[in-house]
Structure 1
């Protein structure tokens, strides 16, 4: 278990249809939620998280889809990372674990998603569940993005918007 989770600031969870439309909605919801948390649209962190959500949701829809079952998107904001989790209900088809993802042949039109997730995140992995699996990735937050929802108390006296900054650990 990651130590970052023990200092969780905010959590967002949404179930979505395990369809291409659900995968697109996961990305849009993630961007909106990050903006609500003070990580603006178009920032490096926002764009990175959007790419990670898009890849994990697309994989869940393409490889983890079970008819009649949803996927779940979960975002967790901690002082140093945004953790992205996408859960599907398929157990018999497992993605490669970190370090096992091999690049596809140059002619291949797919197979690069987890390699992209690996490059964009500081850590990623797979958590088995009784039904299905959760593929997660942690995107680091630079100090400039250490923000929190409005009204969250701040300890940084130099901040121009104290209610928008996280307390120092």
Structure 2
């Protein structure tokens, strides 16, 4: 049985490019500041930075990235849609690597994450608890 989709709390088309992640963070902070804990807003900004940056990197310069955030049982379901056919892949970076830790961070902050194809492109999603997640002592380098 298919459950109906919950109405999004935030939907934005964001131009792909270097400013995409910053735009997503500002939109989310403006929408959720004061509605969820400050720590959860910070965690949301981190997750958005990673998902939107990844989507923006694989999207053509003149295209947009679609951001949707829906409520989900003491959590937020964050969805980022891009048109790239490549599946996202969490990497195991070495200590010398300058990148490759983003999805590992998403994995630690969120209760689940994944991706699927739809008629609008690839959707990468993550379920972020609205109770704060402690990042101190987080080891995502190995």
Quote how far apart the aligned CAs of 1:129 are: 2.1
Higher Rg: 1
Question: Aligned-residue CA RMSD in angstroms?
Answer: 2.5
**TM-score w.r.t. length of structure 2:** 0.81
Q: Is the 8 A contact 2:8 2:68 kept in 1?
A: no
1:115: which partner in 2?
104
**TM-score w.r.t. length of structure 1:** 0.69
Give structure 2 stretches of 5+ with no counterpart. 132-142
Paired residue total: 132
Tell whether 2:64 aligns with 1:82.
no
Q: Is the 8 A contact 2:83 2:122 kept in 1?
A: yes
Q: Residue 19 of structure 2 is aligned with which of 17, 21, 32?
A: 21
**Larger relative helix fraction:** 1
**Larger relative strand fraction:** 2
2:135: which partner in 1?
none
Say which structure, 1 or 2, has more relative contact order (CA 8 Å, 6+ apart). Answer: 2
Q: Is the 8 A contact 1:9 1:78 kept in 2?
A: no
Quote how far apart the aligned CAs of 1:65 are: 1.1
- C-alpha offsets along residues 38-78 of structure 1, whole Å, 9 cap, x if unaligned? 125xx11111111000110111111x212321001111123
